[in-house]
Amino acid sequence: MNRITRLKIENFRRIKSLDLEMRPLGVMIGANGSGKSSILDALSVMEMEVGYPSDSNGIKTLISKLGGVSSITTLDGSDTMTIGVEVSTDLDIEGNNFIETDDTIKHYCEILFLNDGSPAGRLGPSYYRSKRGQEVIFEFGRKHHTASSGDFDKLRKAFFNAFFVNSFNPQPTKRFRSLNLEYPKPRQVPIRQPQQIVPELFPTQDGDNLLSVLYNLREQEPGAFEEIIDTLRIAFPGFESLSLPTVAAGMVTLIWNDKNFQRGLYQNQLSEGMLRMLWLTSILRNPHVPPLTMIDEPEVSLHPELLMILAGCMKKATAKTQLLVATHSTSLIRNLNPGEVLVLDVDEDGMTAARWGDDDELNLESWLEDYSLDDVWHMGVLGGRAS
């Protein structure tokens, strides 16, 4: 599957210079303002530029929403920023098709953004590499390669279309995109109302298609739907099933059936925690989860006991997606391994510093003989504290 193996960010908000190994599951911890949201936003900027290479207004609009380049570059006077990702995949090219291979094929793409928000060009080189030693190096805008011109064009087009277009670009199907989970809480929001049935299989950011997704999974992929139901039964002992009756004008609604009650609960009657767990489960147990999924504070409104189940879902989901999560929850961290925790701190210059929880300098092994990982975090040994 496709994974980001390296992330490089320079001059983005508090991040002066970051060159980070990426893993299948990365749960970021750190004080407010330490850089967790900045990493998520930087990947969103990269997603927009790579997914929409011909839409110069799209990236400028996104940067404008983030406050403009002058707002998101570091406060030390920098007027440009750089974002780069290295992608690893196990798909090789055979003719015009892709086949699975034991090789590791990598592609690196780095973009420099000018102070008006426009990309100055992809720096590089970008490359295609397999463990067999085959290598094709290229830079966008000019050819620089070790293979013949024909092979170069084929590799560039096939690889770029296979990963960057399909994985990052939400067109033509919305399921290929990174996701930062947030939704508003008022009772009249779309996630609490009957929804139009649409041919989609992955939830949107505001949940306005969640019921349709569940309906389609039930009808088209009952095995996947039952995995969601089974997870909810573990999370909520009284939960029995979900009903998804259709109503007028091609709309669908949801009924939460509890074995303790004669009547079910409609979605507008569910608690925030029940709705959020339903949403998260529909994402993490979804067979159409995108290659990269970003979740900001999944613990919101969830009871601490649910976070043990959520951690299990996150780990299982890494077989299909790469997860990057930001959290402040000690209960969630308790259920993770040090190598799944990305610790963010602010250095002496006020800039973001990041390292994984299994970093040798932390030397947590002896501590974890007597304490849990969340205890070590709380005591300040792990880092990621406000002081």
Split at pLDDT 50, 70, 90, the class of 59 is low
What's the confidence (pLDDT) of residue 108? 66
Alpha-carbon distance of 227 to 261, in angstroms, equals 23
Contacts of 142 (CB under 8 A, 6+ apart): none
Mean pLDDT of 31-48: 86
What's the confidence (pLDDT) of residue 190? 84
Which class is 3-179+295-379 in CATH? alpha beta
What's the confidence (pLDDT) of residue 66? 73
Percent of the chain with pLDDT over 70: 67
Q: Which residues pair with 342 in a beta bridge?
A: 28, 356
Judge if pTM exceeds 0.75. Answer: yes
- What are the sequence ranges of the domains in the chain? 3-179+295-379, 190-284
Sheet containing 239-243: order of strands: 239-243, 255-258, 265-266
Return mean pLDDT, the chain. 79
- pLDDT score of 307 more than 90: yes
- Alpha carbon of 291 to those of 98, 195, 197, 279, 280: distances in Å? 17, 26, 25, 18, 16
Percent of the chain with pLDDT over 90: 51
Whose tokens are 């961290």? That residue is 333
Alpha-carbon distance of 311 to 234, in angstroms, equals 13
Mean pLDDT of 344-365: 95
Specify the range with the lowest mean pLDDT, choosing from 35-49, 166-180, 221-235, 317-331.
166-180
Four-CA torsion 64, 65, 66, 67, nearest 10 degrees? 60
Split at pLDDT 50, 70, 90, the class of 105 is low
Report residue 338 as tokens.
């040090």
- pLDDT score of 118 more than 70: no
Asked whether the beta carbons of 51 and 34 are under 8 A apart, the reply is: no
Asked whether the beta carbons of 192 and 275 are under 8 A apart, the reply is: yes
- pLDDT score of 49 more than 80: no
